[in-house]
Structure 1
């Protein structure tokens, strides 16, 4: 690897992510205690410095997400690297597109906007779930809602805090660096599940009738700003993720 790539910021981030989440591959946790917290702090500091130009990514021209064009996905992903402990890449969202409300079972995450602006609504799953809950519906708490730009600090999630979230592009296209630890792995119990918000008048947690939510933060804050019911759903028909090459410095892990 060329010396400039060995010393690139994204290579330093990959090294720190590997150190921070070592041993997380099968356990679904990045570690505990002061050492882990210190490593997360150092990783967050490095990630806060990353910019689109560091990854040779240019902001896209304003474009709206397609309605039903299979060859033109609303969201694309640039894969950078992956180990048993973490994965790292860049998501690019067309204007008006969203990554629907989804979970990260047993995972940590760090997100840094590279260009544009995104709105993120984060939920915590409440434990334990009520008796008789079918598992398709869960009780959650709207933990945070905010807009993030390239000048914002990284957004964090953990196995128990802000673990479910929706990410929407605001006022045009957007892109963000994404680190997940450990990576999704259905065979190890880390599959991605999608959810929608049930209306506050839903009488029982086992009901499956609801209108599709467009803005989960707005709906959750309408009547009950904290506790909500979420219904697990298949991947929405209007969401799919394509892939494109990562143009930035090579990363070795």
Structure 2
């Protein structure tokens, strides 16, 4: 009797565990073992499709049965989680966005499974002389100034199922926002290590500020000022079952 063939998502999980075990952000580009493992993981992720996880774009809803207002704009399919990494699928409804947020000290990999998304990534910058006197429009309240961070728009691009994965690093492209484009979308998401508020890895949300008297031109070379904010009221994430092959790590 032939042996069961290892699923692609199992191969991805096994390689993710190997890649991110004992991985630190220090001198990561000089760690040849990590770089080689990450390249192999990127190669595996580049080949994954929605059908490999037994998911498909939702059928168009009829006008006679619209979505209830309480339906979450984003849902999540949990696949697996270890101390080393977590993996799951985010599904965005048409027009939905995952607001600008961070992954403190974490690596991330996103691979679109269907639809299209725009991803904008920022890097935090060190405080510069004069930042504390900068004026914003609308003006900030005094207590808000401690939550302002100078940043740079590192990258902005559109991703589809034909695209390779978007790579997020602990120190580069770590802050990002994701918008569904022209319909629903879904992407496979790997975070390493997983969120853990008790270990300093909690999610923080931000909004881009306008400087007084000048609009921010959003190009890759631009600096921006980000204000840490509570989770936006119009964003929340529901859950739904993962229908794909079982994964063990």
- TM-score category (smaller protein): 0.7 to 0.9
Partner residue in 2 for 1:46: 44
Distance of 1:244 and 1:116 partners within structure 2? 19
Structure 2 matches for 1:51-70, cutoff 5 A? Answer: 51-62=49-60, 69-70=69-70
Partner residue in 2 for 1:184: 195
Q: 1:234 to 1:28 in 2, by over 3 A?
A: farther
The alpha carbon displacement at 1:189 in A equals 0.3
Which structure 2 segments of 5+ residues have no match? 133-144
- Determine if the alignment matches structure 1 residue 172 to structure 2 residue 183: yes
Distance of 1:112 and 1:78 partners within structure 2? 14
Distance of 1:231 and 1:141 partners within structure 2? 13
- Determine if the alignment matches structure 1 residue 154 to structure 2 residue 165: yes
Aligned length: 232
The alpha carbon displacement at 1:224 in A equals 9.1
Partner residue in 2 for 1:113: 112
Secondary structure at the counterpart of residue 51 of structure 2? helix
Partner residue in 2 for 1:230: 226
- Determine if the alignment matches structure 1 residue 193 to structure 2 residue 189: no
8 Å contact from structure 1 (residues 30, 36) kept in 2: no
Distance of 1:131 and 1:3 partners within structure 2? 66
Q: Tell me how large the CA RMSD over aligned residues is.
A: 2.7
Secondary structure at the counterpart of residue 14 of structure 2? helix
Partner residue in 2 for 1:243: 239
Distance of 1:3 and 1:12 partners within structure 2? 16
The alpha carbon displacement at 1:69 in A equals 2.8
